[in-house]
Amino acid sequence: MTWRPTLARSVVLRHDRVRGTDLLLLPERVVVLHGNAGGVLRLCDGSREVEDIVAELAARFPGAPVAGEVPEFLETLRKEGWLR
């Protein structure tokens, strides 16, 4: 089975201009995202497989350890129920 991650229905990704960072808005909770986490999650639109997301990020950030870190990050968010 291939996973095409997308945000859960109750989760909204927003950019906070005041703080200059991305946020995940959840029911009764706000999660402040650090680094490029928001950029990774913007690629999770349900049309790309995890491999495609990793390939796109590897092209944008040559030499960055995206192949190991991004799938782990996405799986962590999936376990939290923030991605489906």
Note the pLDDT of residue 65: 96
Q: What is this structure's pTM?
A: 0.92
CA distances from 55 to 28, 38, 64, 72 (A): 34, 17, 11, 15
Question: CATH number of the domain that 30 lies in?
Answer: 1.10.10.1150
- What pLDDT was estimated at residue 50? 97
Residue numbers of the domain that contains 26: 12-80
Distance CA 35, CA 69 (A): 13
3-state class percentages of the chain: helix first, strand second, coil last, to nearest 5: 40, 25, 40
Residue 63 lies in a domain: yes
CA distances from 52 to 20, 21, 55 (A): 27, 25, 5
Q: Tens digit of pLDDT for each residue in 18-69?
A: 999 999 999 999 999 999 999 999 999 999 999 999 999 999 999 999 999 9
What local confidence, expressed as pLDDT, does residue 1 receive?
Answer: 56
Count of domains in the chain?
1
**Residue type present at position 68:** G
